[in-house]
Every structure is written in structure tokens, then in C-alpha cells.
Structure 1
Amino acid sequence: MDATAPVSPPLRPRLRGACLDALPPAVARPSYDPSRTRTGIVHFGPGAFHRAHQAVYIDALLADAPDWAISAVSLHSSGVRDALRPQDGLYTLALLDERPSLRVIGAIREVLCARDEADVVLSRLSDPAVRLVTLTITEKGYCLAGGELDMAHPDIVHDLARPDAPVSAIGYLVAGLRARRLQGMPPYTVLSCDNLPDNGGKLRRACVAYACRLDPALAEWIDARATFPRSMVDSITPASDEALRERVADALGCVDAWPVQREPYAQWVVEDAFCAGRPDWERVGVTMSADIAGYDRAKLRLLNAPHSALAYLGLLLGLESVAEAMRHPALGPFVERLLRVHIAPNLALPRGLDADAYIGAILARFANPAVRHRLAQIAQDGSQKIPVRLLDTIGEALDREHPIDALCLPVAAWLQFVRRETGNGAALADPLAVALAEAGHAASGDAAQDVARFLRIDAVFGPLAADARFVQALRRAYARLGDGGASAVGLALGGH
């Protein structure tokens, strides 16, 4: 054999249950035998966020409560099933920190694709051992219009005509509840884990409205006996990529077709309203609270608002990522002052949430160099984000007669960002792109005139546009940013 010939690397085995004992000591693995767990949860939408978040909480409980394992159901795509079924449902979670760590998760007992295995999914929903159904299907998966079920949605039209062969999440949920009622079984709890306001309330109304079209008595039974807790979730989960797969394969010594990654921080707040029992989530860090709206509001104001501030001010400074923006000598300190001095004092916090600790955790998350969160991504859809993230706080600060100049600076940075992007001929990623582009193209740099044009976009500014105190503060902030260039923005930040 030619000694100079390249040697092919040995083929690595696929991650599966038989490989667990052979994993390197540095890789954490289930403290229980995944093959001996029992399905107690059906989850619709086993994408990266669910597998990096809720499934990890369940994984931490299964050693003592093996009957809460997950049947993971994709409604349409077979990708997760095809990746994880050969792996016995196992996959790797990479926690992104200065010292990354890996953990194999065993919470998923089986993986199904409803498009191909509808009968199996329906049988799981009517299994008395299943007491909880959870969802991460994104807002569009709920088939809503104006917060209520869209009866004209093609999937809902299909399911009402063929309720025993559903294609939508709502259709499956009600089909399972209908089967349980016919068999004299109690309902399951339905828990939305998607980031939409009043998620449990919206889901309850959607299921009851759909059921009412099929059988008013079924709708009454669901409304009276099933529960739909509200929840709030939080953790930054970057998309899996080939670099992650390679890192995981090198560390494990075997191939994981679909690992996931997230920051170390995770938060899950759930309303304690379960009709069929629930896991002992408090033991693994889940917060049970009746004030989900309060936690949602805290997240919007204390996490999402400074994210937007970092995005628009950071992009004007020529920065690319959140961590890079936090390292900027003027922007990082400005964001911390914004949080502690101008946002937190105008926010009614839910009971049990420590503002200082929460803000400290947020700042640490932003500064994490292992999570590359692009400012350009956060900057999208500003017309939808600015009102709930910043303008609501400004309105409440005005009611309390608190100063708003610092709060107006990131709003002005958004206007300058729109002005710059449209001036450069770039397309805006925003539902109000046409109206914003018109104002941006007409902008001349005159603060009074430019701000007046943007304030005419009523869908963004609403009644605040008529408040002289806000108008003057926004003009000052816009003028302070000058031409929107890095030098002017740096000077403006230095003055706060």
C-alpha cells in the first residue's frame, strides 16, 4: 500500500440508544433509560425551539416521572421524523456559551408525520395515557384572523368537511377531544407554547368555535371540561447548520442528523390550569403563574425593547451582531441605562419577578459572544415591533410625567434606519414597507418635517402622534442623530 495515499476517515455510527453508554464523559446524557419511558404528551411542531426548550425540561423530569415522554408530531414535513426516528428519537442539544456544552436529550419517545401517519396521531390523542397536548406551530398554524378562528382558511374548510381526516392543528385537537368524549374519557389539557398574546385564550376560542360547527354539545363539553393554559417561553435558538452537525459529530464520535443549539438561558412561565394532571415542572425551573400577561409584558419591555434599540442604533453604527453592539463603548452602557432608568420604572412587574436579576440576565445574554444574533434580523418588521416594545412604554412614561428623551432615541434610530435603507434603494422587510418607504424617500434631514411624515403612519404611532410632548422629544432625538452616520450616532449616545 502506498504510504502517501490519503486515508479515509472511519465511518461514524448514527446516534441511537445503543450508543449512549459509549459517549465521551464530557457529553451529558439521559439519567434514565429512554426505551422504558411512556408517552404522556403529544406535541405538535417539534422544530428546533421545542427540542431546545420544552423537551429539555421534560428530559430533566423523566428519571422520576417516566410516563411524561413525548410523541412528537409534525403536521406536514417529514424532516424531523426522518432525522430522528433512526436515532430512537435522540438528539443533541448544544448550549452556546464561552465554554459550550453538549447534552443528549431522550424526551421524545416517537416522531410522527401527521401527513403520512394520521391514524397513528389520532390514536395517540385518544390514548388515556396522554394527558397533555402541547404546540409550537407559530402563529400562522392556528389559522386565525383578527385573533379568532378563520372559518374561511382552506385547512379549516377541509377539516370541517372531513373532521375524521384533519390537516390543521385545530382539526387534530378537536378530533382527539371528540374521540375521548365519545369513549367516555376525560379531556386532555392543551398548552400553547407559541409567542402570541393570550395564546391559551386564543386556542380555546378557536377549538370551541371549530367544535361548534361540528356539534354544539361537543363545543360545550370542551369549553366546560378541557383547559387551555396560557404560557410564555424565552430562549434564543439559532438555526442548526452544518458547522453544528460537524462539531457534534466530532464530540460524540457518532452522527446526529439534526442537533439543536441555544443560549444557556431559558425561561418558561405557565398558567397552572391543567385538567388531567401535569409534570412537576417547578422542580426543573418552570415558573407557574396566573399572570402570564405580566411576564409577556416584561419580556416585551425589558428584552425585546432593548433588542430593537441595539438593532437600529447598532446598524447605524455599522455593527452586525447583538454581542458586538453590547461591546460598543457608548451603545452598551446606553442600553443598560435605558433598561434600568427608563423602562423598568415604568413597568408593573408580575409578582415574583426580580427586576434587577432579570435585567442582569438579559444584559449577560446580549453580551454572550457564542450567540451570533444578527441585528439585521431583529430590525425586520419594525412597524409591528416598535409600538409594543417602545411606544407603549413612552405612553406610560408620559402618563407618569417621566422623561422620555432616552426612550425616543431608538425610535428615532428606526426612522433614520428607514431613511438610510430607502435612500440606498434597499427593500424594507416590513408589512408597512410602502408607507415607510414613502416617508423615507421624502426625508431630507430636517427633523421637524421628517418626523411629521413618519407620524402620519397611524398604524404605528396612533394617538401618540398628537401628543406635543412626544412629537418634540422625537424631533430632538432625530436631530441628535444628525445624518444617521456612525459619528453622529456615537455622539448622541454619549450624551445619554
Structure 2
Amino acid sequence: MKRITQSDALPADVVQPRYDRSALKPRIAHIGFGAFHRAHQAVYADVLAQDHGSDWGYCEINLIGGERQIADIREQDHLFTVAEMAPGHWNCRVVGVVRQALHAAVDGMEAVLDALCGPDIAIVSITVTEKGYCHQPASGQLDREHPLIQHDLAHPGVPQSTPGVIVEALRRRRARGLAPFSVMSCDNMPENGHVTRNVVLGLARAQDPQLADWIEAKVSFPSTMVDRIVPAVTPETLAKVCELLGGIDDPAAVAGEPFRQWVIEDNFVAGRPAWEKAGAELVADVLPYEEMKLRMLNGSHSFLAYLGYLGGYAHICDCMEDADYATAARALMVKEQAPTLRVSGVDLETYADLLTERYRNNALKHRTWQIAMDGSQKLPQRLLDPIRWHLAHGSRFDHLALGVAAWMRYVGGVDEKGQTIEISDPLRDVIAARVAASAEGGERVHALLSLEAIFGRDLPDNEPFVQAVSNAYNALLSCGAREAVRRLNLRHA
């Protein structure tokens, strides 16, 4: 089947690059060429090039995994399609802002580092998921025991981790008299810029204190809040895009909901695109927006993912067809997450209604299993930090406790029908060992609470927290997820 290229004549309703792609400069190097980046940050850059004459192009980099994605866009003039999935129709946009694509395992780490030392590079952006930062989720600090960090401490010139690659690139730029770049995280973590700064400076200081001082003085780490629901690409997705492109194949295509949002801390040392012209918000402090999205959207997503999977629902939209689940998710947002937030000027009930509407989009088919991945990295910011707020204020957190208990039930590895659950988590082996060494019930809860990397030292010693999670866990064991959710709603009616 014919692959998409620059010369293709596509259907008239497909948005195609009308700008001179050769005039684009690779000013942003992006680490993590996954589905979300393609459907989010790359679209903003494409809008700027298309409608505002921007010359900010991308150099795309994958370090671990994703070899096929890099190969695919190389074979099609660095083009890819982004489809918007509305319930009644799909729209397609061919994005043309990528000028270079590299993979460390295919092209070699030297090629990656050379690209990061390009004179036009002003920003290095990142979407590698929470686990890619090699940090301790409970503290936000560098995990020096992480295998990739151990390698990079021993072999700094040939790094393997994302922090290691950034540190080595900055070392080489400093040695060559090149200007530093800004490092911008676009992953779902509170104060993601602060976490990025922690891991980069922590590794640099362990390798070369003078380099660390230079980075601290010269490099900025702006935080961002990103929002767009982008389900994993399926064969059905690619077939639909092929149909919309008039029979032209694009294996690098992605699809997401029509909604997109980007809030960016305006703190860049070497310039930035005019993202505000494409609808982004440039602010002095992103944290209130990050917390709002992480707790109300991502927190309710995790709540629905674990309880939905246990209850036999494959997709978020399936959960929302169950009135009990829809009611509980909105109550979690409004009654337990919203009070913990510091954002101002936002109607949080309206925001909850918007999220509920987005979750009902049955064109998305966002799998509960996909959202349930990497829970050890997600629980602290999505559920546990809000619980700490409620403990400090003496308020109830029954929905949050049920969400934590559902994670514990999920990582037990067997669903309510006795079927094996495929657990995908960087702490999978550690979690599995705690599960195997504990009896089902209260012993299991205490075994999982002893995971300090997730729960810290405070929560396992907090009796109200332990009791609330234990009660919720016992409810899941005794009556199952769907009935536990129904009873939760009755208690809070």
C-alpha cells in the first residue's frame, strides 16, 4: 500500500502543510516520539508554521523502544497524521514540522548527542512518561540506584537514561562554547520542571560539580501542563486514518480527542515559539494548573481505570455508561479533589462537567488497562498527595481511598473472575514479591503500604489512612468493584 509523502494529493478536507518545510530549523529536540507528543506538542508547532510563519521545527529522538515509529516517519518524508476523534466524525491533519528523527539504538548515541549539540537547538522537550525520569516518585529526587543511572554514573560519555543524555549534551555544549538550552518536561507530574531539574542537577553533581553549577546558573527547566486524551493506536485506528487519507497508509498516525490544552511556564533561556498564537497559555506559575489536571482528570482516570478494569469495563467510555461509575468519578473530582487545589479563576464544577463529557466520547476507546499502567509512578501525585491534604484538614477521602484500594487489588494480579492481570509497572517485580509474601486481605494491604517509594514514610504510619484503605480493600474483596462503587455512592448520596 502507498505510504504518505510530501507529494501526495490527499482529500480536500485533510489539512496539509502549506508552508515551506525546508525553511524550518530544528530548534526543538524532543525526547520521546510517542503518540501523545505527536498529537499534542507537534500539532501546536504545525499550527504555528501553517498559520503564523513559524520556522521552529523538531528533531525527534527515541532512546529506548519506538524504533518502528522513527523508521516509519523516515520512510514518509518525516510526515505523520493526527486524527481528531469526535463521536460523529473524524478530522485529519498531516503534520510537517519534523525535520530529523533519530534512535539511539539504531543511529548510535553519538548521533543523538551531536543533534543535541546543534547550534539551533534552543529547547529540549520530553515525553518519556513518569518512569523515564529515573526519580523517586515519593520525593521527586534522582534515584541513584536506578540501573540506567548506575550506568550513566560509570559511563557518562555514553549515557542511557534521559537525565544522562541531557547532562552529557549540556557538558559538550559548555565545552564547545555553545549556548545552553532550556529543558521542558511535558509529562504528567506535579512540578514536572522541578523534577526534571532535580534529576539533571542530581546526576550532574554526582559526575562533575562544576558542570552542575553551570547548569544551575544557565539552564531553565520550565514546567508545563499538557492535556489531550490520546488512546493507544490500534489497527482499527490506522485503517480509519487510511480511509480518510483516500487509501494512503500512515503507520505513524495517531488519533486523539478534539480537545487540547497546554499551559507553559514562560521561562526559556534561548527563546521559544509563539505558542500562545496556537492557543497555549504562557504563565508565571504552572503548578496550580498541573495540580488541577493531575488530580481532577488524571486522578479520576486512574480511579476509573482500576475500578473499571476490575468491574469488567474495557474502556473509559464503557465505565461512563454505568451511572454508578459516572456518579462516583464526578464526586471524586468535585468533593475530594477540587477542595485540595490552589488554582484560581476556574469554575471547577464546570471543569468536572467538561471532563465527564470528554470521558463519554465513545470514539476514543481509551483502554482502562492502558491507563492502569505504571501505577507506582502515578499514585503519589494523582491520589496520595490529595489524601495527605485531607488528612491535614480532617476531611473525608472515601473515593480516594477506594481508588488506592483498587490499585492494590489490581496489582494482586488476578481479576474478579480469576483471570490473570498483565501488570505493566517499573516496580512490577517488587510489587509481585510483596503480593506473593502476603496473605489476601489486611496483610496484603500492609505489605503494599510498606513500599516507601510509593507511599513514603508518613502514610503507612497514619492510622486513619490505613483504616480507610483497608476498609475499601475489604469491600472490593467482599462484594466486587461494581457493588463497592454503588455502595460508595449510597453513603455519599
For Structure 1 versus Structure 2, the TM-score category normalised by the shorter chain is 0.7 to 0.9
Change beyond 3 A, Cα 1:114–1:159 = farther
CA distance in 2 between partners of 1:156 and 1:142 (Å): 14
Change beyond 3 A, Cα 1:413–1:187 = closer
1:300 corresponds to: 294
1:393 corresponds to: 386
1:45 aligns with 2:40: no
Name the SS for the 1:356 alignment partner: helix
CA distance in 1 between partners of 2:54 and 2:313 (Å): 47
CA distance in 1 between partners of 2:193 and 2:482 (Å): 47
Give the one of 112, 121, 125 matched to 2:116: 125
1:483 aligns with 2:478: yes
Does the CA-based 8 Å contact 1:482-1:488 persist in structure 2? no
2:276 corresponds to: 282
Report deviation, 1:158.
Answer: 5.9
Name the SS for the 1:227 alignment partner: coil
Report deviation, 1:368.
Answer: 1.1
1:492 aligns with 2:482: no
1:259 corresponds to: 253
CA distance in 2 between partners of 1:382 and 1:168 (Å): 21
Does the CA-based 8 Å contact 2:308-2:368 persist in structure 1? yes
Give the one of 418, 427, 435 matched to 1:424: 418
Equivalent residues, number: 473
Report deviation, 1:483.
Answer: 2.7
CA distance in 2 between partners of 1:297 and 1:486 (Å): 27
1:68 aligns with 2:62: no
Does the CA-based 8 Å contact 2:32-2:61 persist in structure 1? yes
Report deviation, 1:91.
Answer: 0.5
Identity among equivalent pairs (%): 37
1:337 aligns with 2:331: yes
After TM superposition, the structure 1 = structure 2 runs for residues 328-477 of structure 1, keeping only pairs within 5 Å, are 328-344=322-338, 346-379=339-372, 385-386=378-379, 388-411=381-404, 413=406, 421=415, 424=418, 426=420, 429=423, 430=428, 431-436=430-435, 441-443=439-441, 450=442, 454-455=445-446, 457-459=449-451, 460=455, 463=458
Name the SS for the 2:49 alignment partner: coil
CA distance in 1 between partners of 2:126 and 2:298 (Å): 23
1:4 corresponds to: none
CA distance in 2 between partners of 1:468 and 1:267 (Å): 39
1:8 corresponds to: none
Change beyond 3 A, Cα 1:398–1:268 = same
The one-letter amino acid paired with 2:79 is: L
Give the one of 37, 46, 55 matched to 1:59: 46
Does the CA-based 8 Å contact 2:228-2:257 persist in structure 1? yes
Change beyond 3 A, Cα 1:494–1:289 = same
CA distance in 1 between partners of 2:29 and 2:354 (Å): 32
Change beyond 3 A, Cα 1:149–1:394 = closer
Q: Which has the larger radius of gyration?
A: 1
1:24 corresponds to: 11
Does the CA-based 8 Å contact 1:317-1:489 persist in structure 2? no
CA distance in 2 between partners of 1:454 and 1:114 (Å): 41
Report deviation, 1:282.
Answer: 1.7
The one-letter amino acid paired with 1:484 is: C
Does the CA-based 8 Å contact 1:317-1:490 persist in structure 2? no
Name the SS for the 2:83 alignment partner: strand
Q: Which runs of 5+ in 1 are unaligned?
A: 1-11, 444-449
After TM superposition, the structure 1 = structure 2 runs for residues 230-269 of structure 1, keeping only pairs within 5 Å, are 230-253=223-246, 254-269=248-263
2:214 corresponds to: 221
When the two chains are superposed, the root-mean-square deviation of aligned CA atoms in Å is 3.6
Change beyond 3 A, Cα 1:480–1:212 = closer
Change beyond 3 A, Cα 1:151–1:381 = closer
Change beyond 3 A, Cα 1:366–1:436 = farther
CA distance in 1 between partners of 2:296 and 2:202 (Å): 35
The one of the two structures with greater contact order (alpha-carbon pairs below 8 A, sep at least 6) is 2
Question: CA deviation digits over 1:20-61, x for unaligned, max 9?
Answer: xx2111211224232332221122221222111111111111
The one-letter amino acid paired with 1:89 is: H
CA distance in 2 between partners of 1:223 and 1:474 (Å): 41
Does the CA-based 8 Å contact 1:318-1:486 persist in structure 2? no
CA distance in 2 between partners of 1:358 and 1:342 (Å): 14
Report deviation, 1:104.
Answer: 0.6
Change beyond 3 A, Cα 1:14–1:222 = same
State the TM-score, normalized to the length of structure 2.
0.82
Report deviation, 1:340.
Answer: 1.8
The one-letter amino acid paired with 2:86 is: D
Q: Name whichever of 92-101 and 177-186 sits farther off.
A: 177-186
Name the SS for the 1:95 alignment partner: strand
Report deviation, 1:302.
Answer: 0.9
Question: CA deviation digits over 1:371-430, x for unaligned, max 9?
Answer: 222234444565665554334434433443434445544455556665974893746735
1:81 corresponds to: 70
Change beyond 3 A, Cα 1:458–1:179 = closer
